[in-house]
Amino acid sequence: MAADDLDEFESSEPARGGQFGPYYLHELINRGGMADIWLATNPKGEAVAVRRLHEGSGLHFLAKRRFVRGCEILSQIHNHEYVIGYVEHGKISGTLYLVMEYVEGSNLKQLFARGDPLLAENIGNILIDMALALEHVHDSGFMHLDFKPENILVTHNASLRLVDFDLAQPRPEKPKKMWKNPGTPAYMAPEQLLRQPIDHRADIFAYGVAAYEVLTNQKPFAGDTPKEILEKQLDRTLGFSAPRELNADIPAALERTIIKCLERDMERRYPHMSILVRDLQAALYV
């Protein structure tokens, strides 16, 4: 869940399973600041994932609006192999909910944190599939705006799903200043942290941060506050290391691709995900 101004609304109520409308909630998969995700079954006995907005969040207009917007956007773009599948969304007994494809696996952050061999054995395909998922989001007319390893699920056979579209926005024709500026600071582009107009290239920067982190097990611009992160983004002498300095196994062409994603000036980044995908495939010989 995004580290934003809704964290204060995390519910203190215990999570309870059981019957929820036509679905039966079996096991709590994840408890975030705004919603819970459950392993559930539908009336046919098929496994699904049910995401429910916390009761406290439901009283907050912004939380409610983001949740519903994320559901609506997912309903428009889920027809892609690397985006989580959408079933339905609505309200049951006053609680907003989203039903999605159930994916058994771990998120990308969990994989590299524990050094899972699944990641090492499939890193090239995972990096490309991440980019293909983001390319589909952009081609569908949206920006994700919370692209990070926690929002990328990887199955036991290394199939990938992009999740969590609560912060997504329509992709503007030209950079646009956002009314609110939520997100996860470590993955936000300089223009986001400076609250300047943004476009889909903010996602391309976030992709670069995620790829750098997966390959090196470090963030390119570490910091405890958005101010510290921004200072390092704007002044690379404060600690930024080229990926190959931390992991010599990274191909030089892949390093160049990641660094181009991380350009502080959006005009110097990749203009479109399709060009990034092309360079990734060339660098990784896929």
For 73-110, the pLDDT digits (tens) are: 999 999 999 999 999 999 999 999 999 999 999 999 99
Q: Is residue 279's pLDDT more than 80?
A: yes
If pLDDT is split at 50, 70 and 90, which confidence band does 1 have?
A: very low
Percent of the chain residues past pLDDT 90, beyond the cut: 82
Provide the token pair at 194. 């400076």
Which helix (H) or strand (E) element contains residue 73?
A: helix 61-77
Residue 27 CB burial class (10 angstroms; 0-12, 13-18, ≥19): exposed
Whether pTM exceeds 0.85 = yes
Tell me: pLDDT of 8 over 90: no
Task: Find, among 152, 229, 228, the residue nearest to 188 by Cα.
Answer: 229
Give the three-state DSSP class for 27. strand
For the stretch 100-147, pLDDT in tens is: 999 999 999 999 999 999 999 999 999 999 999 999 999 999 999 999
Burial class (CB in 10 A: 0-12, 13-18, 19+), 14: exposed
Task: Give the Cα separation of 91 and 196 in Å (integer).
Answer: 36
Residue 286: band (very low, low, confident or very high) from pLDDT cuts 50, 70, 90: low
Closest CA to 166 of 55, 68, 41, 40: 68
Rounded CA gap, 147 and 198, in Å? 15
Confidence at residue 167, expressed as pLDDT on a 0 to 100 scale: 94
| 3-class secondary-structure state, position 143 | strand
Contact 233, 190 (CB under 8 A): yes
Catalytic residues: 146
Which SS3 state, helix, strand or coil, does residue 95 take? strand
Please check whether residue 31 is in contact with residue 6, taking contact to mean a CB–CB distance below 8 angstroms: no
Whether residue 248 has pLDDT greater than 70: yes
Of 97, 28, 77, the closest CA to residue 88 belongs to: 97
pLDDT one-digit tens code per residue, 150-207: 999 999 999 999 999 999 999 999 999 987 777 899 999 999 999 999 999 999 999 9
